[in-house]
Structure 1
Amino acid sequence: MKTLLKIIGIIILLIIVYAVIAILAFSKDYHYEKSVVINAPKEKVWQYVGSLKGYNMWDPFSKEIKNITITYSGEGDKMGDSYHWKGDDSEGEQSITETVLNEKLVTKLHFIKPFDGNAKGTFVLTPEGSGTKVTWKIDNELNTMMKVMKPMMDRNMDKMFGHGLDDLKKLSEK
């Protein structure tokens, strides 16, 4: 029994040490990006990247939200257009802040639930051989608790961005 308590004590101590190091060492600035090459012209890919309605056809994050409802403001492809989502345990808004036809879309994400926060999402399309390279980026500022969770965030972002880009590729290559 004493050995088990020692092991538990060591594990708790290691978690505390990790948390302190993460809080002190990890930057508050968070950036993640992932790319895929799609065998389609950028004009075809843009249909699904250059508008919020097109994005929601392959967005992996909204697929994870139970009982989601999405309400659009505007057509979804112009500066200032936005949408609001609400579902079980999740709510937020995404609005277009910059757009360059067939090349770049930048959005502001405002998360309301489960945590309040803001992020910037970016899609960049560049020619790659006979196809299109799509780079999906997210940037935000981490609060203290999120700094501790950064390695888990990286794994989750890699998984979710991977699923989303795979679905985008399938849609665009039809």
Structure 2
Amino acid sequence: MRMRTLKRLGTIATTAVGAMLILASMRQDTFHVERSARIAAPPEWVFQQINDLQRMKYWNPYEQKDAGLTGRFGPTTRGLGASYSFDSDEVATGRMTIVGSKPLRQVTLRLDFEKPFASTVTTEYTLTPDRGGTKVTWTMEGPANFVHKLMETAFVLDPLIGRDLDRGLSNLKVASESY
């Protein structure tokens, strides 16, 4: 009787793991998370907060997640080619580089992660004038490797990443409105 119960539990567990692996393999090969906020500041002020990695350091939600995070700026901190390397046991290790900068309209960054696993993600900030202020849309997208797909099968990552983007937009709002 006891052996039969263990066998059934083993079969159920194996079937569940197999189903999860199959579902993960069927997921999209890319991910996309997007959040927006209205900021009561002109696009000029908001753009300066985003296009300058030294200023971004103060409102970036990932900087606030780990007090032990260490960072190093590249030779340029503003505009096209500006870069910032970061190392954290709690967040990630990698480098961000501004790869697109359209004054008052858009800033695009390439995030090259080394840890917890190697990946490259694109994050973009789009600014639109909005009723005397600025609407900022922050997107994050990139390839979804099998580990990412497996995590997305077990947990919905959009709310997890989206929570960070919302926090960052809230911080950006405070930084821009008090600029």
1:72 and 2:86 equivalent? no
**Structure 1 residue 8: Cα displacement:** 8.0
Unaligned runs of 5+ in 2: none
Q: Which residue of 1 aligns with 2:83?
A: 82
1:108 partner amino acid: R
CA contact (8 A) 1:48 1:57 kept: no
Distance 1:165 1:8 in 2: 46
- What is the percentage of aligned positions where both structures have the same residue? 27
Report runs of 4+ in structure 1 exceeding 6 Å deviation: 1-5
**Structure 1 residue 168: Cα displacement:** 0.9
Q: Which residue of 2 aligns with 1:105?
A: 107
Q: TM-score, normalised by structure 1?
A: 0.88
1:98 partner amino acid: G
Distance 1:8 1:173 in 2: 58
Distance 1:161 1:33 in 2: 8
**Structure 1 residue 152: Cα displacement:** 3.2
1:127 and 2:132 equivalent? no
Unaligned runs of 5+ in 1: none
Q: Counterpart of 1:78 in 2: which secondary structure?
A: coil
Q: Counterpart of 2:96 in 1: which secondary structure?
A: strand
**Structure 1 residue 66: Cα displacement:** 4.4
1:171 and 2:175 equivalent? yes
Q: Counterpart of 2:59 in 1: which secondary structure?
A: coil
Q: Decide which of 143, 146, 162 is 2:145's aligned counterpart.
A: 143
Q: TM-score, normalised by structure 2?
A: 0.86
CA contact (8 A) 1:50 1:102 kept: no
Q: Aligned Cα RMSD in Å?
A: 2.2
